[in-house]
Chains A and B, each alone.
Chain A
Amino acid sequence: MQFLISVIILSCVYAMLAAGFVVIYKSSRILNFAYSDMAMLAAYLAVTLTQLVAGPPIIALSICLVMGFILGVAIYALLIKPMAGEPIFSTIILTVALGIVLNAITILGWGGEMESIPFGWAQYYSLPGGVRVAGTEFIIIITTIIFFIAIFTFYRFSKIGKEMRATAENALLASQRSINIYFVTAFAWGIGFFATALAAILIGGNYQVSLNLGHVSIKAFAVALVGGMDSVGGIIPAAFIIAATELVVSNYINPRLAEAIPFIIMIIVLLFRPWGLFGTEEEIERV
């Protein structure tokens, strides 16, 4: 039972991380390789804000999420939008360079210090079956559920959500239907960075903030590919498959192999279903 709880929590972390990756890809068809560095920067920013802003931590963390959204929009406006019309490969390389810059900023600003993000709920609970759960783990589960309900609702019912889906389907047609595709894509980048910051905060609160945070963020890439790069709904089962397999291997086979598991699953899925378990088949041609 404790094992199942560990799987659920790790699945939530992976799902949150992959959400940021997929939302950005879905709207702009760009593989954002600055992702893990963005997560690290957001986590350190959250640490500083919780130290600077008085009152309950939720105030500082909300400011951090808003800043994440603004940074996403700014990066799109300043770096990604000017690359419109250029080969997609160039834009992807640009995100790699951006990641290196963000990493350098983080090391320069925070020196890679080990930190943690206080949630103000440092309690442990015993559940039936000898299961132990921390307050921070409840926060991870609840936040993930709320986030995914919100994102599904947003895509399905809001005007801008529908415009995002239309732009993702066919940007040219969407623009001919007077959808401001730049605004829509910028908004998607904002949501993507918001999700990244949220995931980073959850990791920083439950585990810790360190330069190692980038290593776990890399796994978001595997989750996104396994679920389908254009499928927000595919993230949850993909995250569960990867987290469960990883923990089965660490617990019952050999923990040294566990780190490779997300990527082994990714390779297997790419070999047999390159568009991912829940992705769209024609997507593969675009990738």
Chain B
Amino acid sequence: MRKKIMGIVMSLVFFSLIFMGHISILDAADPYVIGYLSDITGDARHNYAPDSEGFRVYMDLVNARGGINGHPVKVIIEDGKSEPARSAAVAKKLIIEDKVLAICGLGFSRSQPPVLALAEKEGVAVITGYTGIGGDIYDCKPGSINFATGHNMNPDFHTSAYACARFIQGVKPKGSTVAITGFATPGARFWRDLQEKWLKDMGFEVVYGEDIPTDTVDFSPWVNKIAKISPDIYYAIEGSTQVIPQIIALEKMGYTKDIMIPDFTPEGDFAKGIKRVVGNGEWILWGGRWASAYEDLPAMREVQKALEKFGHQYPLSARHFNGWVIGRIIEEALTRAGWPCSRSKLITELEKTNVDTRGLTGGPIQFTPTDHHGPSWWKVYRWNAGKKALVPAMDWFKIEPKEIAKKYR
């Protein structure tokens, strides 16, 4: 009798586990293991946390479709907390203990050097999400580990700084005065310096340039100066926690000339910020490498649907598109690599990347063995109070980093 009861209990436990999803037919196959190192908390959270959400829901979708080559993708998302030391520690865990095939995300420039050094030693591909400070990314050796899909801050040619100088060229006449501030981080400082250089080359006058510490709460020292100088346009290379209070404080000071911000500010935060603006806010411009979620394209609706299906915390934003497309890049590379897949094989396949983003960017994401960034397309939007949306102010334009780098080298 006791054996019979035990048998029933064991059967119940077994079937409960199956129904709870702890055991499934798909899980029986070994998974591809991919790490995603994000800044879900900390100073850079606003910039990078939605990326990881976009990546996660794409991989949930892949697994729901049956995985890749009959194998599920196990995604391990770690929080670097915007701290370089912690990012290095969790990267080590991902690489050594979890044996990931690649690390994605890693947007915070301060956290990148230690992680990239470790990844290079272990031969693990790193697809830096939104901002990358990788070295020879445009003219790299085949098999090198660093890839980028967002704003890359290469010391040789800084695509974002150049693109943002072009943004200003697109919306302001030559000879206009420009003020620029940036995060007090290596990536943003480098960006600001180069953007100033290019703006001067394009015939603009840079009248103010300064760093702002990432934990600043009272922006009056910077804002008072900018309002006093009253440039024709102010460019803020910072995330939402920095730019929104500055926009509010500048409006208070009577400065409602153009303010341009990179797409570091996700649309959810942008919407909260615009509610605090007393005027119509039409002096605010927003631009970057990814289309704004305000455009409502079919590809964007697909991301939204996946977010709703698999759960999300942040409203749909361009940051989700970045994570989503990194997911697609990984999926295509793993499909080509087959099973089993080694780290070096994945790098070889990533070097063949050619992903049509269906409007989420201005053109495809392309990597080659000697170019781990590829051409990029950039677009600017302006807030339209009537439509309550960001509307295009300057259409997509293409940047071929290699060609322009030669010019500026």
Contact = CB atoms under 8 A, between A and B. Distances in A.
Interface stretch (A26-34, A220-228, A247-255): A247-255
A112 B211 contact: no
Given A111-B313, A216-B218, A210 B241 contact: yes
Interface in B224-266: 224-225, 240-241, 244-245, 251-254
A256 B213 contact: yes
Contacts of B213: 255-256, 259
A207 B211 contact: no
Contacts of B221: 6, 247, 250-251, 255, 258
Contact of B276 (A3, A116, A132, A215): A116
B252 A212 contact: no
A124 B240 contact: no
Contact of A251 (B215, B225, B240): B225
Contacts of A111: 313
Nearest to A213: B217
Interface in A1-56: 2-3, 6, 9-10, 13
A250 B213 CA distance: 12
A129 to B, nearest CB: 13
Interface residues of A, number: 35
A208 B218 contact: no
Interface in A226-261: 247, 250-251, 255-256, 258-259
Contacts of B42: 211
Contacts of A107: 41
Contacts of B46: 114
Given A132-B253, A208-B241, A212-B241, A10 B218 contact: yes
Given A114-B46, A207-B245, A255 B217 contact: no
A134 interface: yes
Nearest to A134: B252
B241 A2 contact: no
A98 interface: no
B253 A10 contact: no
Interface residues of B, number: 34
A283 interface: no
A133 B220 CA distance: 12
The interface centre, meaning the residue of A10, A116, A133, A258 with most chain B CB atoms within 10 A of its CB, is A116
Nearest to A212: B215
Interface in B260-313: 269, 272, 276, 278, 313
A135 B278 CA distance: 11
A240 B80 CA distance: 38
B234 to A, nearest CB: 16
A213 B245 CA distance: 13
A212 B269 contact: no
A114 B269 CA distance: 7
A255 B278 CA distance: 28
Interface string A104-116: 0001000110111
A114 B272 contact: yes
A114 B278 contact: no
A203 interface: yes
A213 B218 CA distance: 10
A222 to B, nearest CB: 15
Contacts of B222: 250, 255
A176 interface: no
Contact of A6 (B215, B220, B276, B313): B220
A115 B46 CA distance: 12
Nearest to A259: B213
B217 A215 contact: yes
Contacts of B225: 251
A123 interface: yes
Contacts of A115: 272
A122 interface: yes
A13 B251 CA distance: 21
A250 B43 CA distance: 21
Interface string A170-205: 000000000000000000000000000000000100
A255 B220 contact: no
A211 B272 contact: no
The interface centre, meaning the residue of A107, A216, A250 with most chain B CB atoms within 10 A of its CB, is A250
B80 to A, nearest CB: 14
Contacts of A134: 252
B278 A124 contact: yes
8 contacts: A9-B220, A13-B218, A122-B276, A124-B252, A134-B252, A215-B217, A216-B217, A255-B212
Interface of B: 41-43, 45-46, 184, 210-222, 224-225, 240-241, 244-245, 251-254, 269, 272, 276, 278, 313
Interface of A: 2-3, 6, 9-10, 13, 107, 111-112, 114-116, 122-124, 126, 132-134, 203, 207-208, 210-213, 215-216, 247, 250-251, 255-256, 258-259
List 3 A-B pairs, minimum CB-CB distance, nearest first. Answer: A250-B221, A215-B215, A216-B217
Given A114-B269, A210-B241, A255-B212, 13 more contacts: A2-B253, A6-B224, A107-B41, A112-B45, A124-B252, A126-B254, A207-B217, A207-B219, A207-B245, A212-B215, A212-B217, A213-B217, A250-B221
